[in-house]
Structure 1
Amino acid sequence: MQKQGLSRRSVLKTGVAAAGVSLFNINHAWSQDVAYDGEVFDAGGHVLNVAEWGGYWQETQNRLLLDRFQKEFNCKIQYDSTFPWFPKFVANGPERPPVAICNWNLPEMFKTHQAGDYFLDVEEIKANVPNTAKLWDFALRTGIGVTWAFSRYCYAYRTDAAGGAPTGFRDFWKPEFAGRRGTYITSNTLQMMFFMASSWAFGSSETDFDAGYQAMRDAMPMKISDFTGNMATLLERGEIDIAVQSDAEALLQKEKGVPVDLYYWDEYKGILTQTKTISRYADPMSKKLAFALLNRTLEADYQTAFADEFWMRPSNRDAVIPEKMAALGVVNSADATDGLHIPDWQTYLDHEIDIVETVNEIFGS
């Protein structure tokens, strides 16, 4: 669920640029404004196209949210789990969105936003989704999507590792961890964030990419994983001693008794988000249903139930942290969300081709 699809050089330099020129500022009658007040309504069997992760995630969404939503609103959910979403949006164009509501990690969401006028902005969403008033401020900071769940970035490390417990971000590079480090392929959001955090830690800012390249070289050799679950397995088997990780995965391992602990990147509070957009040019009934579904997604009870399944933190101020997470120190408070950082994805994406090619070359050396 945390992998991100990156476009090829030709797509980024030609197809997306062309889409951005030809598809902005569209004003079609079928995209007329609709209003939603938070109440249940009869959609008359309308089909709502949504895009979100598949597998157990989809099963859980059906059980906790979507089955009930379909019954109460008299609609049918058409669920697309065939990620990535970016090519589908660009292929269709803004006036024919493939889905009305879509769940994203941030890099691909911003990439799609760059390509055309695809999404409602946050102010338009706030006017039609009452539960946005109950969110922590960071949840609306992207300007185009609403963050409803998130994980903190951290290092997961074995408690029996020779390098001991890290006490700072740069401890990943301690000599004692040489040959025992783990990170991700360049299409994974965790590696993107790790690269920017490394650029910040060893350079002048998170966009000092030359410093990031050198940091990647200095950390080699590393185990390169494609997703967080595989990284957790490498850590549990003792094939690595320290890994870039989301706290959702690391807390789950800790709760299961695996000899691991967490070091949070408190110097650089990046977050791995689950963020939903609403398509600007969805037909009116789809748009109204999308408002309603997002509103339900932002309810405190749903976010608590979701956290209990996936160990992700809620963005609703009133959501209760499940007991098993609270026992490991997770809280839902203003202090806990203070300083959470949305990085400069625009600059990253502007340099995406060079970053991917350079870092892949480093990983392959």
Structure 2
Amino acid sequence: MPISRRRLLTASALAPLAAPALGRLTGGAHADDAPLVVNTYGGRWGTFWRDQLLPKLQPIVGRPVRLEIGLGSAWAAAFRAAGKANPPFPCLMTNERYAVSLRAEGYFAPLTTAQVPNLAQVAEVARYKDDMSVTGMISPFGIVYRTDMVKTPPKSWRELWNPAYKGQIGFYSVDNSAAIMMVMLAGKLFGKGEQDIERGVAKIAELKPFPQAAFSGQLSPMLAQGQVSIAPLDYGEAYALKKKGVPIGMVVPEDGVLMYDQSFNIAAASPQKDLAARYLDFILSPEIQLMLAKEFYVAPVNKTVKLPDELKEAIPVSGDALSSILRFDWAFAAANQPQISKLWSASI
């Protein structure tokens, strides 16, 4: 899921509610009656967790719950600094691009439906091999365009390479996971497969010139101001523009939908694994999945959730349509991030 920088600027206001900072996190409170620490992002995210989720969660876990406000890179660093035997908190929520390496290094334990009963109701696209993790939040994204500037919108990712769209496209910078996905998608569409990053970057370069945005909160204004007329963007962000009166159309690409994700991982060595499992089951429950959908326009991963009609425009990919979401090899992406960045810098 995308985290807009503007949403994070208010994180400091939540500091008194958060768990200790990185240096203190590495201690990992392990007393039997220690509070449960759960992580989330700043700004609107932290407010929602504090005001809406924690009051419902605390009776379930039977103890106080504290928030650890931060970002994926800092949380990954905290886990490595603490070591496998002393995780800073028992359940890590983060983008898969950060979780995949920690998982490969043995930080996390497999999940079971005995521990997490709602896991049995999770859509296939959100499940992992051997249930080593689960995607608890999916923010689908596709092609977004200005209806007043684009007469014939593309129906697929492949059609972005139509010369008619030259100079109209906005894009993410290589530091954003969306750009990494687009590189691997281009390798799949035009090369030997998603691991053909040389071909993928070369095809992205063919779309130049285009402005690059570090995050969705930078790309949205480009669309709103007419600086670009087409862009890959998460549907929730696009819907927010539409609610403000911007003439926006959303395409569900015929060749697959991409997603921002939040994977949930239980620390193997945590003495609070049972509490972490209760928290994760809580997140996957129909009630909380619907709350998350209403607040963040994310697609529910629990198959029993029926999306209300008023959310269907904001979340055009949900339910059975989640099968159209493309998943990528993030272990490969993490290992090859330096090479992707080098190729990107050289040609884009």
The code of the aligned residue for 2:206 comes to D
The one of 103, 117, 122 aligned to 2:106: 117
CA distance in 2 between counterparts of 1:316 and 1:353 reads: 35
Shift of 1:349: 2.1
Closer, same or farther: CA 72–130 of 1 in aligned 2, 3 Å: closer
- Counterparts of 1:1-365 in structure 2, within 5 Å, are 2=2, 45-83=33-71, 84=73, 85-114=75-104, 116-121=105-110, 124-141=111-128, 143-162=131-150, 164-283=152-271, 286-327=272-313, 330=316, 332-334=318-320, 336-363=321-348
Shift of 1:170: 2.2
The code of the aligned residue for 1:343 comes to F
Q: Deviations over 1:149-190 (max 9, x none)?
A: 212220111112246311221222233322221111222111
The code of the aligned residue for 2:202 comes to Q
Closer, same or farther: CA 265–93 of 1 in aligned 2, 3 Å: farther
- Runs of 4+ in structure 1 deviating by more than 4 angstroms, as ranges, are none
TM normalised by structure 1 equals: 0.81
Closer, same or farther: CA 75–208 of 1 in aligned 2, 3 Å: same
CA distance in 1 between counterparts of 2:313 and 2:201 reads: 38
SS in 2 for 1:271: strand
The code of the aligned residue for 1:120 comes to A
The percent identity for this pair of structures is 25
SS in 2 for 1:250: helix
Q: Deviations over 1:199-255 (max 9, x none)?
A: 112212111112112112111121111111221111011111111111221233234
SS in 2 for 1:187: coil
Shift of 1:144: 2.1
Shift of 1:333: 2.9
CA distance in 1 between counterparts of 2:338 and 2:313 reads: 42
CA distance in 2 between counterparts of 1:225 and 1:73 reads: 40
Please tell me whether the aligned partners of residues 270 and 343 of structure 1 are also in contact (alpha carbons under 8 angstroms): no
Shift of 1:2: 2.8
Unaligned stretches of 5+ residues in structure 1: 5-29, 32-42
Please tell me whether the aligned partners of residues 307 and 322 of structure 1 are also in contact (alpha carbons under 8 angstroms): no
Shift of 1:328: 5.8
The code of the aligned residue for 1:118 comes to Y
Shift of 1:198: 1.3
SS in 2 for 1:314: coil
Q: Deviations over 1:36-59 (max 9, x none)?
A: xxxxxxx97521122221210111
Shift of 1:329: 7.1
CA distance in 1 between counterparts of 2:283 and 2:235 reads: 22
Q: Deviations over 1:94-139 (max 9, x none)?
A: 111122111111111112223x210012xx3333011111211222
CA distance in 1 between counterparts of 2:313 and 2:135 reads: 24
The code of the aligned residue for 2:204 comes to M
CA distance in 2 between counterparts of 1:106 and 1:329 reads: 21
Instruction: Name the Cα RMSD after superposition.
Output: 2.4
CA distance in 1 between counterparts of 2:325 and 2:198 reads: 25
SS in 2 for 1:157: strand
